[in-house]
């Protein structure tokens, strides 16, 4: 009978190790993924990414237009464009809008109401910048770097002003910049949505299809994600119930003294903690390897900052998850070692007859 109980307890101890590892890894991943403040912190570098990529996009567009006109050597003042973009975007503004997008998404995930799935963007700082000297500098930088016309220019309309896609001979760049900037300001001030909301724009995250809200397919998809999120957020802590139940069952099956309690609880705790700690130690290198292998370095320089942002997101999530895993696994390890030492100590005292 005793051997049968010990064999059953051994199976339960192995089950404890598996469930404890699942709880340590899974619960902490749930906590990180469902914490909106953690997710907000992932987008802290968005400003820098846009400042790097926007000038490159403008340069690439200008060069493609020049090639279409037979111009292969187009001198572009990259420093001027970089400065103009950095000046026109208010510091921290893009990060704030990214946080607003996260808030809108999490409002929906937490409530399940599609009406909450919206982003409120405060465009006033950007619009004020575009209206002022920074906007003028940006327009001047773009126009200065337009290719010279080798034929009839194509025109784009901003407000009520036609803007050429190349510089006609004899063009007064400053005069054209003033005209274009005025047209941009007028277009902003005459936009009915901007005027009606005083520059604060509310955008549905999932859009409206056929004028009647989300399509049935999207409703089903997002409803499934929302249910999974709500389930994980509300009941993720129950992952710890299985290992706790295993420990209690072990106590009922075989624990009859302090030494047996120390060994039957201590060793499973130590094994689970050490295994998870080993997994946590190799995880960062493994994630980095997988991320870099799955997404090889792009040949397009415009994609490099975006790839780096993606890698930073993975690293940040992993770091925050690892901090929690290290702390909780360390507690389990300390408890396990303490119980084992207690078991050996009590046994030694009894053998000496104290």
How far is residue 271's CA from residue 275's CA, in Å, rounded to a whole number?
6
Say how many domains are in the chain.
2
Better pLDDT: 301 or 109: 109
Q: Clarify whether residues 201 and 115 are in a common domain.
A: yes
Q: Clarify whether residues 184 and 50 are in a common domain.
A: yes
Q: Clarify whether residues 74 and 188 are in a common domain.
A: yes
pTM for this predicted structure: 0.71
pLDDT score at 176:
84
Q: What is the pLDDT of residues 5-14, one digit of tens each?
A: 888 888 999 9
Q: Clarify whether residues 300 and 339 are in a common domain.
A: yes
pLDDT score at 290:
66
Which of 96-100, 232-236, 286-290 has the lowest average pLDDT?
286-290
Q: Clarify whether residues 62 and 156 are in a common domain.
A: yes
Q: Which domain holds residue 207?
A: 45-217
Average pLDDT of the chain? Answer: 80
How far is residue 55's CA from residue 32's CA, in Å, rounded to a whole number?
34
How far is residue 199's CA from residue 90's CA, in Å, rounded to a whole number?
15
Q: Clarify whether residues 17 and 141 are in a common domain.
A: no
Q: What is the pLDDT of residues 12-52, one digit of tens each?
A: 999 999 999 999 999 999 998 888 888 887 777 777 777 77
Q: What is the pLDDT of residues 204-237, one digit of tens each?
A: 766 554 344 556 676 677 788 888 888 888 899 9
Residue 226 placed within a domain: no
- The tokens describing 120, both together, are 């409120």
> What's the length of the chain?
354
Q: Clarify whether residues 158 and 239 are in a common domain.
A: no
- Residue 208 bridge partners (DSSP): none
Residue 334 placed within a domain: yes
How far is residue 225's CA from residue 231's CA, in Å, rounded to a whole number?
10
Q: Which residues have a Cβ under 8 Å from the Cβ of 241 and sit 6 or more positions away?
A: none
Average pLDDT for 85-102: 84
Q: Clarify whether residues 71 and 95 are in a common domain.
A: yes
Q: Clarify whether residues 154 and 252 are in a common domain.
A: no
DSSP symbols for 4-52: HHHHHHHHHHHHHHHHHHHIIIIIHHHHHHT-HHHHHHTTTTHHHHHHH
Q: Clarify whether residues 156 and 282 are in a common domain.
A: no
Better pLDDT: 297 or 177: 177
Q: Clarify whether residues 30 and 50 are in a common domain.
A: no
Q: Clarify whether residues 19 and 95 are in a common domain.
A: no
Residue 143 placed within a domain: yes
């Amino acid at each position: 009978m005793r051997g049968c109980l010990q064999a059953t307890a051994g199976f339960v101890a192995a089950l404890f190790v598996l469930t404890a590892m699942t709880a340590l890894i899974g619960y902490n991943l749930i906590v990180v993924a469902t914490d909106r403040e953690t997710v907000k912190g992932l987008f802290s570098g968005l400003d820098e990414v846009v400042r790097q990529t926007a000038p490159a996009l403008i340069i690439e567009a200008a060069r493609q237009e020049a090639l279409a006109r037979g111009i292969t050597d187009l001198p572009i003042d990259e420093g001027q464009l970089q400065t103009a973009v950095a000046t026109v975007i208010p510091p921290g503004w893009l990060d704030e809008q990214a946080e607003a997008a996260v808030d809108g998404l999490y409002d929906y995930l937490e409530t399940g109401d599609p009406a909450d799935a919206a982003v409120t963007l405060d465009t006033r700082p950007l619009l004020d910048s575009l209206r002022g000297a920074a906007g003028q500098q940006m327009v001047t930088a773009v126009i200065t770097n337009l290719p010279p016309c080798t034929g009839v220019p194509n025109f784009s309309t901003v407000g009520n002003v036609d803007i050429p896609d190349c510089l006609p001979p004899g063009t007064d760049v400053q005069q054209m910049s003033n005209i274009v900037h005025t047209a941009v300001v007028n277009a902003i001030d005459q936009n009915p949505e901007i005027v009606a909301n005083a520059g604060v724009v509310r955008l549905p995250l999932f859009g409206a299809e056929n004028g009647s809200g989300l399509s049935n397919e999207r409703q089903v998809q997002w409803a499934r994600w929302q249910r999974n999120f709500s389930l994980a957020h509300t009941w993720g802590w129950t992952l710890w119930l299985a290992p706790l139940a295993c420990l209690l069952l072990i106590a009922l099956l075989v624990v009859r003294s302090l030494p047996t309690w120390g060994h039957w609880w201590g060793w499973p705790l130590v094994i689970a903690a050490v295994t998870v700690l080993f997994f946590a130690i190799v995880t960062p290198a493994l994630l980095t390897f997988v991320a870099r292998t799955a997404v090889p370095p792009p040949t397009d320089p415009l994609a490099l900052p975006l790839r780096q942002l993606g890698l930073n997101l993975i690293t940040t999530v992993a770091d925050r998850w690892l901090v929690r895993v290290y702390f909780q696994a360390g507690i389990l390890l300390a408890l396990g070692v303490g119980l084992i030492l207690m078991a050996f100590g009590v046994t030694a005292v009894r053998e000496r007859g104290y």
